[in-house]
Amino acid sequence: MVTVSSPAQQISCPNVLPETVQSAKSVPDGWLARNSNLKHVLNGVQINFGDPQNASDGAIYDTRKLQLEANGVELETLIWEITKISNVYLVCTYFGTNVVLTRNVAGMSRCKAVIAHRRNTVNTEIRSAICE
């Protein structure tokens, strides 16, 4: 009998957040608040010790690697070893919204984020954020 193992489960931050419904609680006199059609692109990743809803602490990465691509983009790879953490969450933040996605990733072994930094600009792109 041959046993075939299933591929390891992966959980990743979605690259784009679907449409959100947001509103301003108040606006200064003379101003109107309107919604825009901003594309909510992934712009932040962190690993939290405990549920972020309860103001838990962010974890510091275990490994950081830098690599320069031929086009001058610097790739930063952050790795968190989470095997021994019992209550750990992947937290994904997005451009143009205060909506944050969180997911418990306890039982997984590590999380990795790959971030591209463009030289001489403040532009960054999160290429991936995966826990497995």
Q: pLDDT digit string (tens) for 11-21? A: 999 999 887 88
Q: pLDDT digit string (tens) for 65-111? A: 999 998 889 999 999 999 988 899 999 999 989 899 999 999 999 99
Q: 39 or 89: whose pLDDT is higher?
A: 89
User: What is the residue range of 103's domain?
Assistant: 11-18+38-131
pLDDT at 54: 84
Q: Give how many domains the chain has, as a whole number.
A: 1
Q: How far is it, in rounded angstroms, from Cα 42 to Cα 124?
A: 10
Average pLDDT over residues 47-59: 86
Average pLDDT over residues 23-42: 89
For residue 36, with 0-12 CB atoms within 10 Å meaning exposed, 13-18 middle and 19 or more buried, which class applies?
Answer: exposed
Does residue 32 sit within a domain? no
pLDDT at 117: 92
Number of alpha carbons in the 13 Å side-chain half-sphere of residue 50: 6
Does residue 3 sit within a domain? no
Does residue 68 sit within a domain? yes
Q: How far is it, in rounded angstroms, from Cα 44 to Cα 78?
A: 12
Does residue 29 sit within a domain? no
Does residue 77 sit within a domain? yes
Does residue 26 sit within a domain? no
Question: Given a cut of 50, is residue 6 above it in pLDDT?
Answer: no
In sequence order, what DSSP letters do the residues of 45-79 get, joined into one string?
Answer: EEEEES-GGGTPEEPPPSEEEEEE-TTSPEEEEEE
pLDDT at 81: 96
Does residue 23 sit within a domain? no
Read off the tokens for 125.
Answer: 């792109």
Does residue 24 sit within a domain? no
